[in-house]
Chains A and B, each alone.
Chain A
Amino acid sequence: MSDFRAQIEAAIPALRRYARALTRDADVADDIVQDTLVRALRSEHLFHGGDVRAWLYTILTNLNRNRLRTLSRRPVLTPIKDSDAATGGPESGGRDIGRALNDLAEEPRTALLLVVLEGLTYREVAEVQGVPIGTVMSRLARARMQIRSFLDGERPALRRVK
């Protein structure tokens, strides 16, 4: 097996983990991972060396962004299928980390997960997101501030619908 393929294979468990946290839906996550791997293999001849892992994170991140754009163009209500979500009613279920992540905008969520879950450096995250390091840091700060207030119960303007 080529070195390229060996590197791809070694990255699959981490890609599944990242995709699961990013989408919080095991089926959607694995579909995105599969799509990422197929694209990577098909573009093997275009890869001119470098860090395969960072490249895979970049493809996956882009695919997820495309998916969210498609969803936002087709406003369909989808239940949050977070299999581990607390089941003790809306109040107790409203404070867990999955829901806190769900509340974030896509860029801050991506930046935070790449750093704390995947262990990428700020520089690598900047490459994946295609932005300067300063932007990565402000996204991180935004994500952490928002999660903190969410977990502390300071949920901004929770609307109740009967």
Chain B
Amino acid sequence: MIDRDLLVTEDELHAYVDGELPPGRRSAVEAWLATHPDAAAAVAAWRGQADLIQVRYGGVADEPMPDRFSIDSIARLACRRRNGWIAVAAAAVLVAFIGGGAAGWFAHGAAAAGPSDLKRYTTEALDAYRLYVVEVRHPVEVPGDERPHLTQWLSKRVGSPVRIPELEKMGLKLVGGRLLPGPTGPTAFFMYETPSGERFTLYCGQTKDQATALRYIAGKNSSAYYWVDGDLFYVLTGPAEQDRLHAIAQAAYDQIDVRTPPQGG
């Protein structure tokens, strides 16, 4: 019969090399290595690889730092890129603003006026989309199968009844939701996913802006439709492709519309 305490697995050999072995196993592994030349050769080879990698790349961290990596340069770039993106997007939506709700935007140039909710919301929503859409393991805080809890919790935090649209017919399954800090306070953030893994997000928080119809804003790799309904601002973001995004946003808009009674949940 084999004594399990004496048997050493390959995983333990790796853990030994990487200093991840529980202290109690160290002597068992060393005894094993003394009597198993193949295992000892493997351990020596792995250590040699680590040395080669260290020798080859370790010095990069000590190289003089180019100016582009000063925190001030990076901070300037972070600002510039954001403004650059807004400038491009502004041209795309300018037409949509004429006729209503545009006061905040046109006051943008005036020193006294802060940015409108509109601008701040769409910027934040696109940022949140980019941040969480790549998240594999923790895209949401509360999973989509807890829809009633999600609705109740986020309505309470946002301070107004939040409706989570049902987009199954559009091929979008609710992954879940999370709470985010927004420009005017707590904001609800929902994520949907298609069977092929494309992700769409709905961002929602309080605003004093007037109700609007659907409006489109184009980004580079993602774009968004946004609207105001009652006292809530919504931004639906997804991979750029205007027609499809419009259909999805329209479906969400129709369900959220406060003039229609909520359909349970």
| Residue from the list B18, B62, B69 in contact with A33, Cβ < 8 A | B69
What separation, in Å, do the CA atoms of A140 and B13 have in the docked complex? 11
Contact B57 A43 (CB under 8 A): no
Known: A14-B61, A38-B74. A113 touches B53 (CB 8 A): yes
Contact A42 B78 (CB under 8 A): yes
What separation, in Å, do the CA atoms of A160 and B155 have in the docked complex? 65
Closest to B134 in A: A62
Q: Inside 8 A of A106's CB, which chain B residues have their CB?
A: none
Contact A147 B61 (CB under 8 A): no
Classify the interface of chain B: helix, strand, loop or mixed.
Answer: helix
Asked whether any CB of chain A lies closer than 8 Å to the CB of B127, the reply is: yes
| Residue from the list A9, A45, A117, A130 in contact with B54, Cβ < 8 A | A117
Q: Which of B42-50, B105-113, B205-213, B225-233 contacts A (4 or more CB under 8 A)?
A: B42-50
Known: A20-B60, A62-B134, A144-B49. A41 touches B54 (CB 8 A): no
Q: Inside 8 A of A42's CB, which chain B residues have their CB?
A: 78, 81-82, 127
What interface size band does chain A fall in?
35 or more
Q: How far is the CB of A114 from chain B (nearest CB, A)?
A: 11
What separation, in Å, do the CA atoms of A30 and B65 have in the docked complex? 10
| Residue from the list B11, B14, B52, B75 in contact with A97, Cβ < 8 A | B52
Q: Inside 8 A of A32's CB, which chain B residues have their CB?
A: none
Closest to A122 in B: B20
What separation, in Å, do the CA atoms of A131 and B71 have in the docked complex? 31
Interface 1/0 per residue, A29-46 and B, CB below 8 Å: 010011001110111011
Contact A16 B61 (CB under 8 A): yes
Contact B18 A17 (CB under 8 A): no
Interface residues of B in 28-74 (CB under 8 A from A): 42, 45-46, 49-50, 52-54, 56-58, 60-63, 65-66, 68-69, 71, 74
Q: Inside 8 A of B71's CB, which chain A residues have their CB?
A: 1, 5, 8-9
Contact A144 B14 (CB under 8 A): yes
Asked whether any CB of chain A lies closer than 8 Å to the CB of B131, the reply is: yes
Contact B131 A43 (CB under 8 A): yes
What separation, in Å, do the CA atoms of A107 and B77 have in the docked complex? 30
Q: Inside 8 A of B77's CB, which chain A residues have their CB?
A: 34, 38
Among B56, B68, B136, max chain A CB count under 10 A is at B56
Top 4 nearest A-B pairs (CB, nearest first) are A130-B136, A13-B61, A130-B137, A97-B52
Give 17 A-B contacts (CB < 8 Å), ordered by A residue: A13-B60, A13-B62, A16-B63, A17-B61, A21-B60, A30-B66, A38-B81, A41-B78, A100-B49, A101-B53, A117-B53, A122-B18, A141-B10, A141-B14, A144-B45, A144-B49, A148-B42
